[in-house]
Amino acid sequence: MLVFSRKVGEELVLPNHGVTIGVVAVAGGRVRLGIAAPPEVPVHRKEVWHRIRASRGGGSDRAAANGEPLRVLIADADQALSLSYAVALERSGFDVDVAIASNGLRCVDQLRKCRPHVLVLDPSILWGGGDGVLALMREESEVPAVPVLVHQSPGNGEASEDLDFPVCARACKPLPPEKMVSMIWQLANGRRARQRKSTETESDADWQHELRRKIAARTHGHVLGLDIEVVDGRLVVHGRSRSYYGKQLACAAALELMKTLDSPRFTEVELDIAILGGR
């Protein structure tokens, strides 16, 4: 949540939406706010908005697979931009909790606490940066590896080349709010579709998740675009590596895990890992 300190007579402005919020009066424990907004921009108290949505039956299509509200974590140093996206998410009909983190440490803390369904990540955030956040998502089980939308400034494409786990989409700043909403919904909805199509048992998902973590940790994240699947009794590991050594480490991690499974779904390992630069 973005927190401002304002005195009576001072205002906040959301320029992309033509909204101005001013402090009219403060008395006891109550604050009176004045809001100037275009006619097409609805303004409601939160409890009223929930009643309206409940009466319309709204929100169900914007919910996660288990019915809970979709949560989005925005990690960007530009708090004004983050706030505009938060407003756009609310206006679009998402029943979503939006947490805003301005640095890497805050982002990881929010990932642990609110466990969002989608993370919008600026690679250039301070205190750990985007690569530090993704490294912890790879290596620490308490940091959920949720779908990530990398939202970066133009010209920083090379700087984010290595941000491949678990990056699902990329966009250049500033992304129009309506496009941001669309991309977040596609990421969340795509994940649900994959879950619906999956015929794996819960134990299958557990060992596949564990294998991804083992490979990422053992190769120190040097296998990019990491993915695994079981085809005709073979475990196929997909990805790209900077060196043949990284490919060997990925194979070792897969063979090590295969020995620990009580009833393995595969009998051999196949590596579909391209060596970047041909090394």
| CATH code at position 144 | 3.40.50.2300
| Claim to verify: residue 64 and residue 33 sit in the same structural domain | no
Q: So what's the pLDDT on residue 261?
A: 64
- Has this prediction a pTM greater than 0.75? no
Supply the range of the domain harboring residue 35.
1-42
Secondary structure (3-state) at 83: helix
For 134-185, the pLDDT digits (tens) are: 888 887 878 888 889 898 887 654 444 456 667 888 888 888 888 888 888 8
For 129-145, the pLDDT digits (tens) are: 888 888 888 878 788 88
| Claim to verify: residue 155 and residue 260 sit in the same structural domain | no
For 51-110, the pLDDT digits (tens) are: 666 654 444 455 555 556 678 888 887 877 888 888 887 777 666 656 677 788 888 888
pLDDT, mean over the chain: 76
| Claim to verify: residue 33 and residue 81 sit in the same structural domain | no
